[in-house]
Amino acid sequence: MTGKYFVFFILAGFLFISGCSRIHIHFNSYQSRTRAFPTASSENTIAIAIGSGLDEPLLDEEVTAKIVYMLHTRGYQVVPQEEARYIMSCWYAIDSGKTYTGIMPIYEPGEVVTRHVQNSRGRWKTVTTHLPGYTQYIPYSYTVFAKQLGLTLQKNQLPNEKQETVSAESIIWRCTNINADESPDLRGRISPMLVMAFDYLGKNTGRQMEESISVKDKRIRALDEGVNLPTQKSSAVRVWSP
């Protein structure tokens, strides 16, 4: 195997292992200094509002069901907006991708040649010759897609029925998640980003953080399997687009 193909083999293997088995997420979680996060109780009911940069109502339903499931597992009751004390709004989107191109220098080391020669006295000796190496310049191109998902918990400001704007005075907690990699699949990143956000539910990270999560994480599997259960209902939530 030549040096060029060896380098590409190692690089491709590394990208496959790191890029496909783990998902890297940048996130920030903010908690109000004056408004306490509600504890799970029959009084602290929550309604869901969904918005996205996509025109995919069925995906909205899927995201809604996953948020309902996550809230249910933490003891919260999800109800229609007119009955809710709080509203958890979710926004998710993916960009069209940014392509990076360039040229990668690949150094091909020279070969070492060993041969036996006979000197003037008729004796044999071993002579080693180092041939000069050379550098090849290989073009490359890849595209990175930025995915984002944000959650905001706020007090329900009835009688503002539509509530398409978020009042700063009503916000209790907010979390933003960003994943940027070569996967153009937003749907496959929803569960990991929700799991990461709910890990910091009601918490303040104090700074932007970066964590990675395995695609085989048991929390992701539980979320995906949980929303497919026949008993899982999300009809009480209201879906909206800003």
Cβ atoms of 196 and 25 within 8 Å: the answer is yes
Look at strands 46-52 and 86-94 and give their pairing. Answer: parallel
Average confidence (pLDDT) over 186-211: 94
The rounded distance, in Å, linking the Cα atoms of 218 and 24 is 17
- pLDDT for 26 beyond 60: yes
Q: What is the pLDDT of residue 3?
A: 44
Q: What is the pLDDT of residue 164?
A: 53
Q: What is the pLDDT of residue 158?
A: 63
Q: What is the pLDDT of residue 108?
A: 85
Average confidence (pLDDT) over 211-221: 91
How far the first Cα of the chain sits from its last, in Å, is 56
Q: Domains in the chain, please, with CATH?
A: 24-96+145-226 (3.30.160.100), 100-139 (no CATH)
Task: For residue 149, give the 3-state DSSP assignment.
Answer: strand
CB atoms within 10 A of CB 199: 14
pTM strictly above 0.85: no
238 or 146: whose pLDDT is higher? 146
- The tokens for 2 are 């030549």
